Amino acid sequence: MGLTIAGLKWFRWIQGQYGVNFNDTAMLGRQFLYYPGIEKLSTELKNLYKIEDIIQDDGYSEKLFYSLGAKRCISFDASDYENANVIWDFNENISDDYVKKFSVVLDAGTMEHIFDYPTAIRNAMKMVCYDGHLLLQTPTNNWCGHGFYQFSPDLFISLFQPDNGFIIQNILLVEILSNGNYKFRNILNENYSQNRYDIKTNYKSDLYIVAKRIGEIPDELSIQQGFYVDKWKKQESSNSKHIQPEFYSKSKRIKIFLKRYKILRIANSILKKTVIKNNDTKNVIDDVFDIDYELEKMIGKECI
């Protein structure tokens, strides 16, 4: 469990972009602050933080959140081995003492280690107060063996819906490059839930997610993947008319396979390029998000 330079930049960006208020912050797992050295940290976070305000002797991150405006910062964990404030197993329903009590609930690498993920994510959602935010930094690709799970964006797009008391405001794919730097990619668009994307990366990759609470959390979360829900709705709207599937000859199927996959995979292997492929439109999306540029614009406008 830990925060990186990429995560610290992201905190400042979402503060300016979405008005995320860190006043009452809950960390799922007491987060450690990872950085390659003070000089690198100072260079990367220039104009975003005063370095002396975010570094603490024990390496953890409470000072960071106080610098982001927190008046209270509480950590939760199933064990006291990192001196968390509250010992709670998130496989179990959260106590009412912590429901609707936090403006920010942050999971930065904890819930993939919790077996009963539906209970854990519902706990986190319940802890957020109205107009507060649930912030996730969670593994998506090339983390096999790290925890119990790594996650698809579809889960969160289907979960954070008004019927479940939340709206999703942003999802970024963050690649951890071999040189230690990070690359951000914007993968959320208005048509995402109606399509299905295969996301392939050559490096360990996380999802950074901003979700805002707007209503009550139902007693039971019943989630269906948006891609299929849309197809079901289209089928219903066509008055259940049977649409004859299109069949291809063997030679035609081979040509389609070569066209769609072989060339793309060879190029991906050579260039080590992240590919986000839409199965319906056959388009390749490479939407790099320059967080440093976006932060510079915010600083110029005094948004942060």
Span of 8-22, 101-115, 124-138, 191-205 with lowest mean pLDDT: 191-205
Supply the pLDDT for residue 129. 98
Cβ neighbours of residue 265 closer than 8 Å, sequence gap 6 or more: none
User: From CA 269, how far away is CA 263, in angstroms rounded?
Assistant: 10
User: From CA 131, how far away is CA 134, in angstroms rounded?
Assistant: 10
Mean pLDDT of 113-117: 96
Question: Within a domain: residue 242?
Answer: no
> How would DSSP label each residue in 17-76?
HH----SEEEEES--EE--S-HHHHHHHTTTT--HHHH--TTSBSHHHHHHTT-SEEEEE
State the sign of the Cα–Cα–Cα–Cα dihedral 217, 223, 225, 230. negative
Question: Within a domain: residue 202?
Answer: yes
Cβ neighbours of residue 30 closer than 8 Å, sequence gap 6 or more: 1, 60, 61, 75, 77, 82, 83, 84, 85
Same domain, 192 and 160: yes
Supply the pLDDT for residue 253. 62
Quick: pLDDT tens for 172-190.
999 999 888 899 998 876 5
Same domain, 189 and 268: no
Question: Within a domain: residue 220?
Answer: yes
Same domain, 254 and 152: no
Quick: pLDDT tens for 14-60.
999 999 999 999 999 999 999 888 888 999 998 999 999 999 999 99
Supply the pLDDT for residue 245. 46
Same domain, 26 and 174: yes
Contact criterion met (CB below 8 Å) for 133 and 103 = yes
Question: Within a domain: residue 245?
Answer: no
- The whole domain housing 256 covers 250-285
Supply the pLDDT for residue 164. 96
Same domain, 264 and 294: no
Question: Within a domain: residue 157?
Answer: yes
Please name every residue paired with 139 in a beta bridge, in sequence order, or none if there are none: 206
User: From CA 24, how far away is CA 66, in angstroms rounded?
Assistant: 10
- The pTM of this model reads 0.84
Supply the pLDDT for residue 172. 95
Same domain, 82 and 208: yes
Number of helices (H) and strands (E), helices first, in the chain? 10, 14
Question: Within a domain: residue 240?
Answer: no
Quick: pLDDT tens for 187-241.
876 555 556 667 888 899 999 999 999 999 998 887 888 777 777 877 776 655 5
Same domain, 221 and 265: no
Provide the pLDDT confidence category of residue 133 given band limits of 50, 70 and 90. very high
Same domain, 159 and 278: no
Same domain, 220 and 254: no
Question: Within a domain: residue 44?
Answer: yes
Same domain, 278 and 198: no
Mean pLDDT of 85-103: 98
Supply the pLDDT for residue 2. 87
Structure tokens of 122?
A: 């519902």
Same domain, 260 and 148: no
Position 112 pLDDT exceeds 60: yes
Quick: pLDDT tens for 139-151.
999 999 999 999 9
Supply the pLDDT for residue 60. 95
Same domain, 87 and 108: yes
Quick: pLDDT tens for 253-302.
666 666 655 555 555 555 555 655 554 433 334 578 999 999 999 987 77
User: From CA 161, how far away is CA 211, in angstroms rounded?
Assistant: 9
Q: Total domain count for the chain?
A: 2
Question: Within a domain: residue 164?
Answer: yes
User: From CA 120, how far away is CA 114, in angstroms rounded?
Assistant: 7
* CATH number, domain with residue 191: 3.40.50.150
CB atoms under 10 Å from CB of 136, counted, come to 24
